[in-house]
Amino acid sequence: MRQRAITARLLTAHGITGLGDGLWFTVWAVYLTRIRGFPAAEMGVGMGLGSGIGLLAVLPMGVLADRAGPRILLVALSAARATAVVGFVWVDSLWSLILASAVSAGAQSAAGGVRVTLVCKLTAQESRLRVLAQSRVVQHISYALGGLAGGAVLTVGTATPFFAALLVTAAAYLAAAGLTSRVPHVPPVPQARQHVATRAVRDWPFLAVMLATAPLTLCWAMLSTGLPVWVFQATAAPPWTSAFAVVVSSLAIALLQVRFTEGAKRVVNAVRAARWAGIFLALACLLYATGAWPRSTLLAFAVLAAGVVAMFVGELFFVSCRWGLSLRLMARDAEGQYQGVVATTESAVSAVGPAVVTGLLAGAGAGGWLILAGIVLVPVLPVPALVRRALRTRQRAGFASVAESE
């Protein structure tokens, strides 16, 4: 199969998944509280516990991607997500909610790392970052379309559209699984070249780089949770400011992600991207905090809009640096478990992000944004030294990275 056809199928499958994600994440909270009758607190506990349990499966799935092959595993994870969504149709207790949430969250988090591994196996080194960036562009566009469909479901508000939305979401995941199964087979790593299952988590230099850049993942919680709460509770900006932020951010990612990611192909540029990500996200936090002072609606909106620009620039640098560093530093024939580490660190921050952001804003007000600025900026300051150490340890040990072996 030609490379262009392979890339097209990978992007289309990811786009279909994004369509289901946009639909599901738009309706699930209202569905569980209004249609299934869960109290908000019980829903939060069930989904939170389920997500935590599901997170435990991400690293083992990464190892399995190396042992069984990433294509067949990604197909299985997509099917598992479809099964979990259908399971939400019948959830009627806290325990059933935890079970469905665990399967859904675990499969979603694991699929991220496995998908990157599949791209690495099916594309040439020089085109990997571009394909990953293109996949994110496709995902954001399709996610927005799914969100629009979810908005229509919320507008109607009756049970039937919600059940239909769940079935459509499951069908999207199954369609993505079917399309993924049609890309070339990726064989497992031969047993003679397999690494021990704990290879990636014992690679302390790699782990240090991923942990240092993981707090940048908070940008998603800031946009989805922190800014809407802040706009309503502490600023004179119009209520639609947070919606404006989501639209502008999505458009910026669609237009600029490929360009930013192309700039992170070299390790030195990926390191710079990490520092710029921390700087721009910290600047966004400072602007959000400042947005509480103007009493003029127009001025408050202008300050927050400037923060939104800084936020999406920081996010573009963040995504680029994570791909650039992880793909350059991971070991050959252990891509699955290394990307499992990447997915685990991001998913862990994403899981606690909304609680951290809302807790800081509720407890410290504008000071919460200042604390968040420190959380995203301080950890990336040692990234250059950490990456230099990682490169030195690989040279001393004769470490065969993916980049060096091709």
Distance in angstroms (rounded) separating the CA atoms of residues 287 and 92: 43
What is the Cα–Cα distance from 40 to 367, expressed in whole angstroms?
A: 28
The β-bridge partners of 401 are 331
The rounded distance, in Å, linking the Cα atoms of 135 and 173 is: 16
What are the tens digits of pLDDT across the range 310-344? 999 999 999 999 999 998 898 887 888 999 999 99
Residue with the two structure tokens 């990456």: 387
DSSP code per residue over 122-140: HS-HHHHHHHHHHHHHHHH
pLDDT at 404: 46
Residues 134-190: tens digit of each pLDDT = 999 999 899 888 888 988 998 898 999 999 999 999 999 999 999 999 999 988 887
Q: Model pTM?
A: 0.86
Per-residue pLDDT tens over the stretch 183-225: 999 888 877 677 776 788 889 999 999 999 999 999 988 987 8
pLDDT of 183: 94
| All domains of the chain in start order, with CATH | 3-184 (1.20.1250.20), 204-396 (1.20.1250)
**Residues 263 and 269: beta-carbon distance below 8 Å:** yes
Q: How far apart are CA 321 and CA 270, in angstroms?
A: 5
CB 350 within 8 A of CB 221: yes
Distance CA 332, CA 35 (A): 48
How large is the angle between the packed helices 58-68 and 70-87, nearest 10 degrees?
A: 140
Identity of the highest mean pLDDT range in 71-80, 200-209, 258-267: 71-80
CA distances from 70 to 9, 132, 141, 187, 325 (A): 15, 16, 25, 8, 21
State which amino acid sits at residue 84. A
Percent of the chain with pLDDT over 90: 62
Task: Using pLDDT thresholds of 50, 70 and 90, give the confidence band for residue 103.
Answer: very high
> Would you call 400 exposed, middle or buried from its count of C-beta atoms within 10 A (0-12, 13-18, 19+)?
middle
Tokens standing for residue 187? 């064989």
Cβ-based burial of 322 (10 A; exposed 0-12, middle 13-18, buried ≥19): buried
Measure the N-to-C terminal CA separation of the chain; round to a whole number of Å. 21
Instruction: Please report the DSSP string for 249-287 in residue order.
Output: HHHHHHHHHHHHHHTTSSHHHHHHHHHHHHHHHHHHHHH
DSSP lists the bridge partners of residue 331 as 401
Nearest to 237 by CA among 280, 290, 312, 286: 290
Number of neighbouring beta carbons within 10 Å of residue 260: 22
